[in-house]
Amino acid sequence: MNNPLLQKFETPFETVPFDLIKEEHFLPALQKAIELGKEEITKIKTNPENPNFYNVCEAMENAGHYVDVVAGVFFNLHGSNTNEKLQAIAKEFSPILTEYSNDITLDVELFSKVKAVYDRKDSLNLNQEEKMLLEKQYKNFARNGALLNDSQKDEMRKIDKELSSLKLQFGDNVLKETNDYLMLIEKKEDLSGLPEGVVEAAAHVAKEKGHEGKWAFTLDYTSYVPFVTYADNRKLREEISRAFGSKAFKNNDHDNQNIVKKIVEFRDQRAKLLGYATHAHFVLEERMAGNPDTVNSFINNMLDHAKPFGNKDVEEVKDFAQRNGFTEEFMGWDFSYWSEKLKMEKYSIDDEVLRPYFKLENCVEGIFKVANLLYGINFRERKDIPTYHEDVKAYEVTDESGLHLSVFYTDFYPRAGKRAGAWMSGFRDQHMSEGKDHRPHVIIVCNFPKPTSNKPSLLSFREVTTLFHEFGHALHGMLSKCKYQSLSGTSVYWDFVELPSQIMENWVTEKECLDLFAVHYETGKKIPPELIEKLKKSSNFQEGYGTLRQLTFASLDMAWHTTTPSEIKEVSEFEKMATEKTRLLPRVEGTSMSCSFSHIFQGGYSSGYYSYKWAEVLDADAFELFKQKGIFNKEVAKKFRDNVLSRGGSEHPMTLFKKFRGHEPSPEALLKRAGLV
């Protein structure tokens, strides 16, 4: 078979030829790629020369190129444009890939070569990036079982294979439950309170799904969040909230309860096999935080500051609701609704007042202008670069002198084959080989409202913030200037990876930034200064509640990964115990966060969800310097680019942060910004 995944890509910048790739190409391509990768590994093992950094570490870094290509394309499509064929392939694809990875990390001869280099590391005169690569490779072997005996290695292989399948199954179940739900509304009075744009979008979804003349709401964030925020019909708010909260928690074919327990059990077995007390101890060894005690201490410290403010926020909303005639028990599906009304009363501002100023295309142009002012880079759409869906756009990114830096893809609208949420990923990471700098191919994927027949895609302020957040990750990938792929771009500690994304969110409330792109989509007038002032004043609205929500997820994550699995009898009861200290509203029976908590059970955030809040400490401290010198100050931007964005994981993150900021991060800036002091 002439498999396009295994040929040199004859496309602009060697981008993925999506137009040539079919589902049936993936498994044969993976098997051939693994065969080629194993041949390269065999050459390293059988090299008669004495092991040194270049014939072992660099050679390993460059091995398995086609495996990276095939897996990169497959998993990106599986997340953003999947179908039943890809989902079926994934069940074979993931275990094969896991087995290949295990074959390398459990290879005694290969590890002995790496260890021979590692044992002489102090006498090798390596530069900083070379030292990091050697350290990373040695730890990768050790943390994946290279020091185990043969029977333990066999056990490790079985565990990894099981985990690979379970994580995929978890994600597929969440996606199916999301896609299976549809709340059809037939009476116009049931739409009371909903903004015009939300109603139009619901009519559009209904028509797409064969229910013309009705209105359809789904569990996609772009549909669910506006409904629970604005719909006057409390009964329907409760219905969709319960559906959202019970995803994969219904004792049906798509139930994730046993899968969650199995994932936790296998992770615990794996950690103990490697000599760690818990999965969290294993994970946090490779994080800035270092260990569970530091993380729990951080969570508790933030909780001590935020809980009084969180309680105050909830009481304020409850009182407001009661003053306005609300007499029921105050539940989760009431909070967003009454909170939005209170925000409107206090600041005369809500998402619907702001939305007309945030046309998606203008916001995208806005982030491009911000990137240009900070880093001198330019974006030009390229219609000749193939994409995997008509909604996807491709851009060439160049520096001030016109030199090519990156390819940048955007994929903004929800669809049936796309998981919820927003993320940044890549089809090729930046790296150097044979004297050539291979520039990255980066993508951001979001789920923003689709344009309707008479209205463009208009974003909420939260969605604009999401766009800037993911673009910050993209900059981290696009501006990378490292030698080794495994250290480039976003290949950094997980509690450091959110710094480049979260710092970008700060620009969204600055007038100087908003003036670049926030114009009314009908009149073309800039967002009024008084609206920006209200936006700024309201930016800390309900911050105590928001912080407690994040700490709830972080606490739940840490509980799952520090508790002995045999002590966990039932998902719902365990969740209740784990989130007791952060809860501000009554628990809803029949719902479970864990069963759709994709970040920790499908993605890479297990024992790492705290890193969102941790990175807020970093970003608040880092942005202070921009505020002092000017938010578009070229000197500060250059310092951030040179010491953070371009360096990837080539040096320890604390060292990089201190090089930029001049001191270790302090939580004071975050507490001050959040109004929690």
Percent of the chain with pLDDT over 70: 100
Q: Tell me the residue type at 565.
A: P
| Domains recognised in the chain with CATH numbers | 4-105+107-147 (1.20.1050.40), 181-245 (no CATH), 257-328+543-608 (1.10.1370.10), 356-539 (1.10.1370.40)
Banded model confidence at residue 537, pLDDT cuts 50, 70, 90? confident
Query: Closest by alpha carbon to 408, among 436, 437, 444?
Result: 444
Over residues 186-213, mean pLDDT: 94
Query: Closest by alpha carbon to 418, among 670, 174, 127?
Result: 174
Q: What is the dihedral of CA 229, 233, 239, 242, to 10 degrees?
A: 40
pLDDT score recorded for residue 251: 94
d(CA 632, CA 510): 11
pLDDT score recorded for residue 2: 87
Please write the tens of the pLDDT for every residue from 1-40.
589 999 999 999 999 999 999 999 999 999 999 999 999 9
Please write the tens of the pLDDT for every residue from 301-350.
999 999 999 999 999 999 999 999 999 999 999 999 999 999 999 998 88
Over residues 240-266, mean pLDDT: 97
Q: Assess whether pLDDT exceeds 90 at residue 539.
A: no
DSSP state of 98: H
Q: Assess whether pLDDT exceeds 90 at residue 375.
A: yes
Ranges 200-204, 318-322, 668-672, most confident: 318-322
Please write the tens of the pLDDT for every residue from 175-190.
999 999 999 999 999 9
Banded model confidence at residue 419, pLDDT cuts 50, 70, 90? confident
Instruction: Specify the DSSP element, H or E, that contains 66.
Output: helix 65-80
Over residues 283-295, mean pLDDT: 94
pLDDT score recorded for residue 1: 58
DSSP state of 3: -
Banded model confidence at residue 421, pLDDT cuts 50, 70, 90? confident
Structure tokens at 376: 């001198």
Structure tokens at 151: 């029977």
**Pairing mode of beta strands 183-185, 215-217:** antiparallel
Q: Are the C-beta atoms of residues 231 and 120 closer than 8 Å to each other?
A: no
Q: Assess whether pLDDT exceeds 70 at residue 602.
A: yes
Q: Are the C-beta atoms of residues 242 and 590 closer than 8 Å to each other?
A: yes
CB atoms within 10 A of CB 454: 6
Contacts of 14 (CB under 8 A, 6+ apart): 8, 428
Please write the tens of the pLDDT for every residue from 85-126.
999 999 899 889 989 998 998 899 999 999 999 999 999 999
Please write the tens of the pLDDT for every residue from 389-400.
999 999 999 999
d(CA 551, CA 549): 5
φ, ψ dihedrals at 444, nearest 5°: -115, 135
Q: Assess whether pLDDT exceeds 90 at residue 78.
A: yes
* Comparison of pLDDT for 352 and 483, the residue scoring more: 483
Q: Are the C-beta atoms of residues 446 and 412 closer than 8 Å to each other?
A: yes
pLDDT score recorded for residue 670: 87
470 counts as catalytic: yes
DSSP state of 565: G
Mean pLDDT of the chain: 95
Contacts of 601 (CB under 8 A, 6+ apart): 167, 170, 256, 259, 260, 263, 594
Percent of the chain with pLDDT over 90: 91
- Catalytically annotated residue among 470, 505, 510, 575: 470
Over residues 441-452, mean pLDDT: 94
Structure tokens at 16: 């993925």
Sequential DSSP letters for 128-139: HHHHHHHHHHHH
pLDDT score recorded for residue 531: 92
Structure tokens at 401: 């002198």
d(CA 173, CA 594): 13
Q: Are the C-beta atoms of residues 543 and 674 closer than 8 Å to each other?
A: yes
Q: Are the C-beta atoms of residues 268 and 279 closer than 8 Å to each other?
A: yes
Which residue shows structure tokens 């039943």?
84
Query: Closest by alpha carbon to 624, among 666, 656, 584?
Result: 666
Sequential DSSP letters for 601-637: HTSS-TTTTTHHHHHHHHHHHHHHHHHHH-TT-HHHH
Give bridge partners of residue 433 from the DSSP assignment. Answer: 436
Instruction: Specify the DSSP element, H or E, that contains 554.
Output: helix 543-560
Q: Are the C-beta atoms of residues 626 and 509 closer than 8 Å to each other?
A: no
Q: Assess whether pLDDT exceeds 70 at residue 647.
A: yes
Q: Are the C-beta atoms of residues 334 and 326 closer than 8 Å to each other?
A: yes
Banded model confidence at residue 677, pLDDT cuts 50, 70, 90? confident
Instruction: Specify the DSSP element, H or E, that contains 73.
Output: helix 65-80
Q: Assess whether pLDDT exceeds 90 at residue 420.
A: no
